[in-house]
Amino acid sequence: MTSNINLKINGARYAFSVRDDETLLELLRTRVGLTGVKKACDAIGECGACTVLVGGRAIYSCLYPALRADGAEIVTIEGLAVDGGLNPIQESFLKLGAIQCGFCTPGMILSTQALLEENPEASVQDIHDALSGNLCRCTGYEKIIEAIMMAKQTYAKPVSRRG
């Protein structure tokens, strides 16, 4: 069985015919080619590498039926750039070396984006809370927290122009 859905992904409109059990993760990676959405634990919901924003809220795309997303606005790491440049969170991750292998990074940055949109004054505790669903096997998290604290300062106004 397949059904048709419409999505807005990183500002562009798409129409898909979707298999009933297709996840949003599968759709974004294999059909749109947005490989910044990572697949690691794959539908167990434990790693956060597949995090995307649906209507501005961070969700696990591996546990989200694509059909359920019909009509939704989705932002992936590919959609965060501002006028072709990096967004402040991406910039501070780079600057502070909060990236090693990089596999967790898109998810980390999107979780941060959702956090700072909701609460630009986020404390370290809020950051821990917001990132508890994103595993990193390389950095030990310290640099990531530092990068977010730094991004917070430059985060003057919401940057997800495509929201």
Ligand X SMILES: Cc1cc2nc3c(=O)[nH]c(=O)nc-3n(C[C@H](O)[C@H](O)[C@H](O)COP(=O)(O)OP(=O)(O)OC[C@H]3O[C@@H](n4cnc5c(N)ncnc54)[C@H](O)[C@@H]3O)c2cc1C
Enumerate binding residues for ligand X (CB under 6 A).
45-46
Of 7, 50, 114, 131, the one binding ligand FES by CB under 6 A:
50
DSSP state of 44: S
Residue 69's alpha-carbon distances to 26, 46, 55, 108, in angstroms, are: 13, 21, 10, 22
104 binds ligand FES, rule: CB under 6 A:
yes
Whole-angstrom Cα distance, residue 162 to residue 160? 5
- Segment 27 to 86, residues that bind other proteins, using CB under 8 A: 30-32, 41-46, 48, 51, 57-60, 62-65, 67-68
SS3 assignment, position 5: strand
Helix (H, G, I), strand (E, B) or coil at 153: helix
What is residue 151's three-state secondary structure?
helix
Q: Which residues, numbered 6-35, are part of the site for other proteins (CB under 8 A)?
A: 8, 11-23, 26, 30-32
Binding-site ranges for other proteins (CB under 8 A): 1-3, 8, 11-23, 26, 30-32, 41-46, 48, 51, 57-60, 62-65, 67-68, 111, 114, 128-130, 132-134
